[in-house]
Amino acid sequence: MDITIKELVYGSDDYEKSIDIRNEVFRKPWGLNIRDEDLTVDKDMQLFGAYLEDEIIGTIFLTEKDSETAQIKSVTLLPEYQNRGFGKYLMEYTENLAREQGYTKCFLMGRVSKLYFYEKMGYEKVGEPFDYQTIPHINMIKSL
Ligand SMILES: CC(C)(COP(=O)(O)OP(=O)(O)OC[C@H]1O[C@@H](n2cnc3c(N)ncnc32)[C@H](O)[C@@H]1OP(=O)(O)O)[C@@H](O)C(=O)NCCC(=O)NCCS
């Protein structure tokens, strides 16, 4: 089965589904609800959905950190679609886009539990781990 990536329109039905996916994967297991947060920041990002057939199964967002550095956010796949190479595909797609847009570096705030994934994708740790939404994270960067 091949994955496709499509731009998500802020406020659309699939955007709403993307909030549910992020909530399932990133918040519910820790007793949190993403809808309690201010999600209007999403408006200013490039939002992408990962699709199998016409069903959205994951997300990845791209934004600017500074004039040279893009930032990847909300890399998520529903549990049943993890570990099939889709995450790597999402990252490569988004990094290529950032490169085309003129960025020379890509930054992200990774979960410490997913260090293996980001290190495999060529990211290096910056600084010390910190808690975000009660979960240990670490800043990471890669040259594009
Ligand atoms: C993190 C996530 C996006 C990774 O996507 P994925 O589709 O599961 O990962 P992939 O199958 O593309 O794997 C990419 C690489 O990591 C490797 N990998 C996967 N699990 C691994 C593990 N436990 N230890 C070491 N390497 C591992 C794979 O072998 C693959 O390497 P390869 O290309 O050399 O074969 C996905 O698991 C996910 O959505 N997790 C929940 C949400 C989350 O935590 N997101 C990150 C928040 S910062």
Taking the centre of ligand 1 as the mean of its atom positions, its distance from the CA of residue 82, in whole angstroms, is 7
Q: Give the closest residue (by CA) to ligand 1 atom 18.
A: 117
Report how many domains make up the chain: 1
Q: Is a pLDDT exceeding 70 seen at residue 61?
A: yes
What is the domain extent for residue 34?
A: 3-103
Quick: pLDDT tens for 98-128: 999 999 999 999 999 999 999 999 999 999 9
The model scores a pTM over 0.75: yes
Question: Which CATH number belongs to the domain containing residue 90 in this structure?
Answer: 3.40.630.30
Contact 8, 49 (CB under 8 A): yes
Q: What is the pLDDT of residue 1?
A: 63
Most distant CA atoms of the chain, gap in Å: 40
Residue with the smallest CA separation from ligand 1 atom 22 is 116
- Residue 23 in any domain: the answer is yes
Burial 126-136 (b: 16+ CB within 10 A, else e): eeeeeeeeeee
What does the alpha-carbon distance between residue 104 and residue 70 come to, in Å, rounded to a whole number?
8
- Name the E strands within the chain: 3-7, 46-52, 55-66, 69-77, 105-111, 124-132, 135-143
Pocket test for ligand 1, best of 108, 117, 133, 135 (most atoms within 8 A of CB): 117
In a domain, 132, yes or no: no
